[in-house]
Chain A
Amino acid sequence: MSPLLIVVLRVLAAVGLLLLNGVVLIYMLRKVLGRLHLRLGPTELGPAGMFQTMADVVKLLTKEDATPGSVDRVLYFLAPAIVFVPSLAAYAAIPFSNKIVAADLDMGLLFTFAILSLMPLGIFAAGWASYNKWSLLGSMRSIAQQVSYEVPLLLAALPPVMIAGSMNLGDIVRAQHGSVWFIIPCLPAFVFFLIAGLIESNQTPFDLSEAESELVAGFATEYSSMKFGLLFLSEFSNVFIFAALMVTLFLGGWSLPFVDPGLLAGIGAPIIFLVKTYLVIFVFMWIRGTLPRVRIDQLLAIGWKFLLPATLLWIVITGVAIKTGQGLFGGGS
């Protein structure tokens, strides 16, 4: 086989796995929300309704792709791709184990955030091109929300980087092998990251850009068929990325405390990583099933008046602590 063919097959396998991951997440959301809401979720198709989301994907693929008359056609077709591609590309730097990482970048964290910052562009394009007032309102909210929260998100991710002394996500995990999980020295940063991550990935209580009781379906109102499917899948893909980042930065990545990393080599490490990530996603869904939604001005106020100063303050505290107590956190440089 030519090297090019191997690369193409690898890419296809990776994309296929990521899509499957999205399908599994949608099934999980339906089941978890169902249980939280005293219902069963899907039950009919396959054991415990497991094939329901597959059937929905088939439905989305075969449905008529209706394009409203007055849309901006180029942007309208491009927008789902602009949203979906970054949500796939962001997986590249995330280490599933010591070896399984698509791109072992020294600036892995920065790369992930840079890629993710393309998403609001796509969402805005979707809302703008749809020629619908609800879509426009949704995308305006999305811009305001995602741009404001990129700053606190990145700042909240810095304390682990400072302790590990590297922006390589694999190195950050390896730094946690030798000492404690960074959630212990950086608990406030973990909480800030959780809040900012919920906002960046558009989850309740911050799902303002598609608040269904206010904006019908927000930026996705005019989309149908697989274009809607891509917007929908990218949301779940985002949730996975933020959960994976939280696991990597704060919860020890693929490692377990008091267990020799050598024992987990091979299949053990990625399984531990996935289980941790899915547990974090479960918390996201739990929040989604319980809390009401905040208003846009309250959301922005939380970001600028509380989250930004708090993350800055925590960075200062972490820096001072590292300087005064060298070696306190083990992995410190």
Chain B
Amino acid sequence: MTDPRHLAGHAGWLTPNPPHQVDFVPTSLTRAPTGVDTFDTERMVLNMGPQHPSTHGVLRLLIEMDGEEVVAAEAVAGYLHRGIEKLAEHRRYNAVGTLMDRGDYMSGIHNELAFALAAEKLMEVEVPRRAQWLRVLMSEINRIASHLVWYGTFGLDTGAMGQFLYAVRDREVLLDILEDVTGQRMMFNYVRPGGVVADITTSAVDKIQAFLATIDMYLDEHDALLGGNEIFQARTRGIGVLDKETATAFGLTGANLRASGLGFDVRRDRPYAAYDEMRFSVPVAEEGDCYARYLVRMGELRQAVAMVRQCIDGLPEGEHTAKVAKVLRPPAGEAYAAVESPRGELGVHLVSDGTEHPYRMRYRPPALYALQAAEAILPGTMIADVVVILGSVDVVLGEIDR
């Protein structure tokens, strides 16, 4: 990965060779592409992205290729940098949620929740039990929506176009539910310090019931159509293997880590919201290849559905938010809170100086580490594997660039 310092501040953009310029050449690839062998062939440096169908947004990859084989690869991120961390220093605590939504735009609820948890730790607020359950419910609905997009785009990456449209059929229902409860389809600003902003509506409960009635059948269908396909298995089995050592060295979390045989899940091991009251298992696979990541995510989808069921059946009565001041002024100090987002451990480290704005907010994007791990295993694969590996680790550039 190119020097990521420009992601943290403005300094990188002031250099004479800023990474967003077309003729930007990262230092590791400045040597002339040579690779002369007996056939007198030359290597080719391929610029993949930021406008490429399979780079999941605005990722740019520089790939040095020997025929169809990747010799060296380098990811260039930063095209979607909006300075969320810096902007948060000028927002009141209740308004930071709108920024967090735009980080990992596939799972806004998790981002908001991470910030809210950190702020609550600073303020030492007791969150009502119903609010905790609503947070779990919305988190899991959002997780299903996010994983469905991953499933669909992974299908597209391997060339199966239908999967994407089948996945967005189901996701559409979920977005309707989220819109019903939060008023927005993707940028919710729903979870706030102290609780959630609105209680669940009866129409949303009906929609969730209708969704639960069909989703198991659809998930079986997805599993059979993509996971059971021999071509898909040939494309993903043994491809992009991340072993335990690499996974831990790169700080992988979430499904990517669990596909490498390490069963760490923030929801189970450091429970937040109402996850200590939920019954769920953590799917783990040993192989660490793209197919293992596929299996783990599909397992997570089923666990998430099970948790949505539990939440709907056992939602406790009570308030949906604690009594908190209109303008929050947490006492000076720092706090770190992490949630299990669809991409892994999403953390927010918050420093308060006692004013109404955070003094500093640090946003830990799990996809950034996944991208670096993926980048490290690209050499030696083929160009068609590159898109499959990138699809399998599920990167969201909004989160990486922040």
Residues on A lying within 8 angstroms of B by beta carbon are 33, 36-39, 133-134, 137, 141, 204-205, 207, 211-216, 289-298
- Tell me which of B110-118, B228-236, B282-290 binds A: B228-236
Given contacts A214-B387, A298-B234, contact A293 B158 (CB under 8 A): yes
Chain B contact residues, CB within 8 Å of chain A: 44, 46-47, 52-54, 68, 155-162, 165-166, 169, 225-226, 229, 231-232, 234-235, 382-387
Shortest distance between the CB of A297 and any CB in chain B (Å) = 7
Q: Give me 11 A-to-B residue pairs in the complex whose CB atoms sit less than 8 angstroms apart, sorted by A's number.
A: A133-B46, A207-B159, A213-B53, A214-B54, A214-B384, A290-B162, A293-B235, A294-B231, A296-B68, A296-B384, A298-B234
Instruction: Name the one of A215, A292, A296 contacting B158, with C-beta atoms under 8 angstroms.
Output: A292
Q: Which of B52, B68, B234 is most buried by chain A, counting CB atoms within 10 A of its CB?
A: B68
A-B contact count (CB 8 A): 78
Q: A204-B159, A295-B235, A296-B68 are in contact. List 8 more A-B contacts (CB 8 A).
A: A37-B161, A38-B165, A213-B156, A214-B386, A290-B160, A292-B159, A293-B160, A298-B234
- Chain A residues lying within 8 Å of B44, measured Cβ to Cβ, are 133
CA distance in complex: A298, B382 (Å): 12
Neighbour of A297 across the interface among B160, B165, B382, CB < 8 A: B382
Contact residues in B for A216 (Cβ distance below 8 Å): 52-53
B residues near A296, Cβ cutoff 8 Å? 68, 382, 384
Main secondary structure of the interface of B (DSSP, over half): helix
Closest to B68 in A: A296
Asked if residues A37 and B165 are in contact (CB atoms below 8 Å), the reply is: yes
Residue of B nearest to A205 (CB): B231
Q: Do A291 and B384 touch across chains, with their CB atoms under 8 A apart?
A: no
Most B-side CB within 10 Å, residue of A134, A204, A213? A213
Q: Which residues of A contact B225 (CB under 8 A)?
A: 290
Contacts of B47 in A (CB 8 A): 133
**B148 shortest CB reach to chain A, Å:** 14
Q: Are A38 and B234 in contact, CB atoms less than 8 angstroms apart? A: no
- A161 smallest CB distance to B (angstroms): 31
Give chain B nearest CB distance to A24 CB in angstroms.
Answer: 22
* Interface pair A292/B231, CB less than 8 Å apart: yes
> In the complex, what's the smallest C-beta–C-beta distance from A130 to chain B, in angstroms?
14
Once A133-B46, A137-B68, A297-B382 are accepted as A-B contacts, the answer to whether A213 and B157 lie under 8 Å apart by CB is: yes
- A294-B161 contact in complex given A133-B44, A213-B387, C-beta closer than 8 Å: no
Give the Cβ gap from A59 to chain B, nearest Cβ, in Å.
22
Contact of A292 among B54, B169, B226, B383 (CB under 8 A): B226
CA distance A216 to B68 in the complex (A): 15
Contact B52 A292 (CB under 8 A): no
How many Å lie between the Cα of A298 and that of B234 in the bound state? Answer: 8
Contacts of A290 in B (CB 8 A): 160, 162, 225
Q: Given A213-B157, A294-B234, A296-B68, does the pair A39, B384 have CB atoms closer than 8 Å?
A: no
Cα separation A216 to B169 with both chains bound (whole Å): 25
Known A133-B44, A213-B54, A292-B226: A39·B234 in contact at CB below 8 Å = no
Q: How far is the CB of B355 from chain A (nearest CB, A)?
A: 48
Given A214-B387, A294-B235, A295-B382: A289 in contact with B162 (beta carbons within 8 A): yes
Q: How far is the CA of A291 from the CA of B232 in the complex (A)?
A: 8
With A and B bound together, what is the CA distance between A132 and B54 in angstroms?
A: 18
Residue of B nearest to A37 (CB): B165
Please indicate the chain A residues that have their CB under 8 angstroms from the CB of B52 in the complex.
216
Interface centre among A33, A289, A291 (most CB of B within 10 A): A291
Q: Among B156, B165, B169, B226, which residue has the most Cβ atoms of chain A within 10 A?
A: B165
Residue of A nearest to B165 (CB): A37
B384 CB contact (under 8 Å) in A36, A38, A212, A295: A295
Question: Sorted from nearest, which 3 A-B pairs have the closest CB atoms?
Answer: A293-B159, A292-B158, A292-B160
Quick one: given A38-B166, A294-B231, A294-B235, are A213 and B159 in contact (CB under 8 Å)? Answer: yes
Question: How many Å lie between the Cα of A168 and that of B159 in the bound state?
Answer: 38
A38 and B53 contact, CB distance less than 8 A: no
- What CA separation (Å) do A211 and B161 show in the bound complex? 12
Contact call A292/B232, Cβ cutoff below 8 A: yes
Instruction: Give the complex CA separation of A36 and B385 in angstroms.
Output: 27
CB-CB < 8 A to A204: which residues of B?
Answer: 159
A204 to chain B minimum Cβ distance, whole angstroms, is 6
Instruction: Please name all residues of chain B whose beta carbon is closer than 8 Å to the beta carbon of A33 when the two chains form the complex.
Output: 161
A211 and B159 contacting across the interface, CB-CB below 8 Å = yes
A16 to chain B, nearest CB (A): 32
B165 touches which of A39, A212, A213, A295 (Cβ 8 Å):
A39
Q: In the bound complex, how far is the Cα of B387 from the Cα of A33, in angstroms?
A: 23
**A297 (CB) vs chain B CBs: closest residue:** B382
Inter-chain contacts of A214 with B (CB < 8 A)? 54, 383-384, 386-387
Bound complex: CA of A294 vs CA of B385, how far in Å? 10
Closest CB in chain A relative to B220 CB, distance in Å: 16
Alpha-carbon separation in the docked complex, A274 to B169 (Å): 35
Could you tell me the distance between the alpha carbons of A216 and B55 in the complex, rounded to whole angstroms? 11
Smallest CB separation, B200 vs chain A (Å)? 29
A208 to B193, CA, bound (A): 51
Q: Within 8 Å CB of A39, what residues of B?
A: 165
User: Is B384's CB under 8 angstroms from A289's CB?
Assistant: no
From known contacts A214-B383, A296-B68, A296-B382, infer whether A291 and B53 are also in contact, taking CB-CB under 8 Å. no
Contact of A293 among B46, B231, B385 (CB under 8 A): B231
Q: A213-B54, A291-B229 are in contact. Are A205 and B159 (CB under 8 A)?
A: yes
Chain A residues whose CB sits within 8 angstroms of the CB of B160 once the complex forms = 290-293
Q: Which residue of A lies closest to B158 (CB)?
A: A292
Q: A211-B384, A213-B157, A297-B382 are in contact. Are A291 and B165 (CB under 8 A)?
A: no
The listed residue with most B CB atoms (<10 A of its CB), out of A204, A211, A214, is: A214
A207 neighbours in B (Cβ, 8 Å) = 159
Which A residues are CB-close (under 8 A) to B226?
292
Question: What B residues does A291 contact at CB under 8 A?
Answer: 159-160, 229, 231
Q: Smallest distance from the beta carbon of B384 to chain A beta carbons, Å?
A: 5
* Chain B: CB-nearest residue to A288: B161
What's the minimum C-beta distance from A91 to chain B, rounded to whole angstroms?
A: 29
> Within the assembled complex, what's the spacing in Å between the Cα atoms of A84 and B185?
47
